[in-house]
Amino acid sequence: MAQPFLFKVNLGGMIDILANHLYSSPDVFVRELLQNGTDAISGRKIFDKNFSEGRITISIEPEKSMIFTDNGTGLTKEEIHQFLAVIGQSSKRDLQTGKILEDYIGRFGIGMLSCFMVTDEIKLRTRSAKVPSHAYEFTGKPDGTYSIIEIPVDSVAIGTAMYVNAKKGCEEYFNEDRVAELVRYYGLPLPFPIMMQSDEGDYRINEMFQATGRNAHENMMQLGKQIFESDFLDCIPLESKSGLFSGVAYILPHAVSLHSKTKHRIYLKNMLLTEDGEAILPKWSGFLRCFLNTSQLRPTASRESFYEDEMLEQAREELSQCISGYLINLSKKNSQLLEDIIQIHFMAIKSMACEDDTFFKTFIPFLKFETNMGELSGKDLLTRHDPISFTQDMNQFHRTSSLMLAQGQLLVNACYVYDASLLRMIQEYDENLIIYPLELIAVDEFLQDPSIDAQVEADDFVQNAKRIFKRFDCDVALKSFSPEQLPVFYMLDENAETLREIQHSKENSNAMFSSMLDAFAEEIGDHKATLFLNWRNPLIRRLIHLSNAEKVKAALEILYVQALLTGRFPLKGDEMALLNNNLIQLIEWGTAE
Amino acid sequence: MASFRQMENDFANLERGTARLNGIRDAIHQADSAQDLRWMFIFRYDYIEESIFCGDRYYAMIMFPELLQIYDEHPELNENDRIAYDMLIVLRWIVEAVQEFPQVSREEIDKYFRLYKRRLLESGYGLNNYYMKRSLVYMHMDRDIAILSYDKFLEIPMDSMSDGKALCTDFMVEFNLYLGNEEKALTLAKPILEGKLRDKINLPHSTQHTFCWYYLQTKEFEKAVPYMIPLEKKVDGDLYHMHHIGAILSLYSRLDVEKGIRLFNRNYHLYLGSKNPWLKFYFISGAVHLFDSMVKNGIGTDLVKVPESPISTAVAEGDTKKVAEILRKECAELAQRFDKRNGTTHFMDWLTMLDD
Per-domain residue ranges of chain B: 1-104, 236-356
pLDDT at A207: 80
**Among all residues of chain B, which has the CA nearest to that of A495?**
B275
Helix (H/G/I), strand (E/B), else coil: B127: coil
Q: What is the torsion angle, in degrees rounded to the nearest 10, for the CA atoms of residue B214, residue B219, residue B220 and residue B223?
A: 50
The residue-averaged pLDDT of A553-578 equals 90
Which stretch of DSSP H or E encloses residue B273?
helix B257-273
Pick the CATH number of A224-334 from 3.30.230.80, 3.40.190.10, 3.40.640.10, 3.40.50.970: 3.30.230.80
Per-domain residue ranges of chain A: 11-204, 224-334, 367-445, 449-493+528-591
Best mutation target, B103, B266, B308, to test chain A (most A CBs within 10 A): B103
B19 and A519 in contact by Cβ < 8 A?
Answer: no
Q: Which residues of B touch A396 (CB under 8 A)?
A: 22
Exposure b/e, B9-44, CB count within 10 A at least 16 = b: eebebbbbbbbbbbbbbbbbbbbbeeeebebbbbbb
pLDDT at A105: 44
pLDDT at A404: 87
CA dist., res. A104 & res. A381, Å (int): 56
pLDDT at A9: 64
Q: Which residues of A touch B58 (CB under 8 A)?
A: 520
Specify the range with the lowest mean pLDDT, choosing from A327-331, A416-420, B201-205.
B201-205
pLDDT at A6: 66
**Among all residues of chain B, which has the CA nearest to that of A420?**
B15
Helix and strand numbers, DSSP H then E, in chain A:
18, 21
Banded pLDDT at B257 (limits 50, 70, 90): very high
Q: HSE (CB half, 13 Å, CA atoms) of B180?
A: 1
**In 3D, which of A146, A149, A127, A120 has the Cα closest to residue A137?**
A149
Comparing CB atoms, the residue among A415, A501, A515 nearest residue B62 is A501
**In 3D, which of B144, B177, B129 has the Cα closest to residue B343?**
B144
Amino acid symbol at B70: I
CA dist., res. A521 & res. A569, Å (int): 18
User: Does the pLDDT at position A191 exceed 70?
Assistant: yes
Best mutation target, B13, B43, B312, to test chain A (most A CBs within 10 A): B13
- Tell me the backbone φ, ψ of residue A416, rounded to 5 degrees: -80, 155
A393 and B18 in contact by Cβ < 8 A?
Answer: yes
Q: Which residues of B touch A415 (CB under 8 A)?
A: 14-15, 19, 22-23
CA dist., res. A129 & res. A71, Å (int): 9
Banded pLDDT at A212 (limits 50, 70, 90): low
**In 3D, which of B175, B174, B253, B237 has the Cα closest to residue B206?**
B174
B277 and chain A in contact, CB less than 8 A? no
pLDDT at A95: 42
Q: What is the ipTM of this complex?
A: 0.91
CA distance B22 to chain A (A): 6
Fold classified for A449-493+528-591: Four Helix Bundle (Hemerythrin (Met), subunit A) (1.20.120)
pLDDT, tens only, B70-85: 999 998 888 888 899 9
B15 and A415 in contact by Cβ < 8 A?
Answer: yes
CA dist., res. A233 & res. A405, Å (int): 38
CA dist., res. B211 & res. B205, Å (int): 10
Measured in Å, how far apart are chain A's first and last C-alpha atoms? 110
B166 CB-near residues (< 8 Å, 6+ apart): B192, B197, B198, B199, B203
pLDDT, tens only, A136-179: 999 988 777 888 999 999 989 999 999 999 999 899 999 999 99
B101 and A420 in contact by Cβ < 8 A?
Answer: no
Instruction: Look over chain A and give the mean of its residue pLDDT values, rounded to a whole number.
Output: 86
**Overall residue count recorded for chain A in this entry:** 593
For the domain A11-204, what is the CATH code? 3.30.565.10
Cβ-based contacts under 8 A for chains A and B = 96
pLDDT at A93: 45
- Tell me the backbone φ, ψ of residue A56, rounded to 5 degrees: -120, 140
Q: HSE (CB half, 13 Å, CA atoms) of A373?
A: 17
**In 3D, which of A196, A167, A210 has the Cα closest to residue A59?**
A196
**In 3D, which of A530, A403, A562 has the Cα closest to residue A465?**
A530
CB A282 within 8 A of CB A354: no
Which stretch of DSSP H or E encloses residue B65?
helix B57-73
CB A383 within 8 A of CB A425: no
CB B271 within 8 A of CB B306: no
Exposure b/e, B142-157, CB count within 10 A at least 16 = b: beebbbebbebbeebe
User: Does the pLDDT at position B301 exceed 80?
Assistant: yes
Q: Which residues of A touch B25 (CB under 8 A)?
A: 395, 501
Q: Which residues of A touch B13 (CB under 8 A)?
A: 257-258, 347, 416-417
Q: Which residues of B touch A511 (CB under 8 A)?
A: none
Banded pLDDT at A100 (limits 50, 70, 90): very low
Contacts 24+ apart (CB under 8 A), A352-357: A352/A282, A352/A284, A352/A324, A352/A327, A353/A418, A353/A422, A353/A425, A354/A418, A354/A421, A354/A422, A354/A425, A355/A284, A356/A324
pLDDT, tens only, A508-529: 998 889 999 999 999 987 888 8
B72 and chain A in contact, CB less than 8 A? yes
- E strand intervals along A300-418: 368-371, 374-377, 388-391, 410-413
* CA–CA distances in Å: residue B71 to residues B38, B85, B86, B177: 10, 11, 11, 39
Comparing CB atoms, the residue among A259, A395, A505 nearest residue B65 is A505
CA dist., res. A332 & res. A107, Å (int): 48
Fold classified for A367-445: Rossmann fold (3.40.50)
**In 3D, which of A503, A564, A499 has the Cα closest to residue A530?**
A564
Cis peptide before B277 (omega within 30 of 0): no
User: Does the pLDDT at position A132 exceed 70?
Assistant: yes
CA dist., res. B256 & res. B224, Å (int): 13
pLDDT, tens only, A246-288: 999 999 999 887 666 788 999 998 889 888 888 899 888 889 9
A393 and chain B in contact, CB less than 8 A? yes
A183 - beta bridge partners?
none
pLDDT at B311: 95
- Tell me the backbone φ, ψ of residue A195, rounded to 5 degrees: -105, 140
Instruction: Look over chain B and give the mean of its residue pLDDT values, rounded to a whole number.
Output: 93
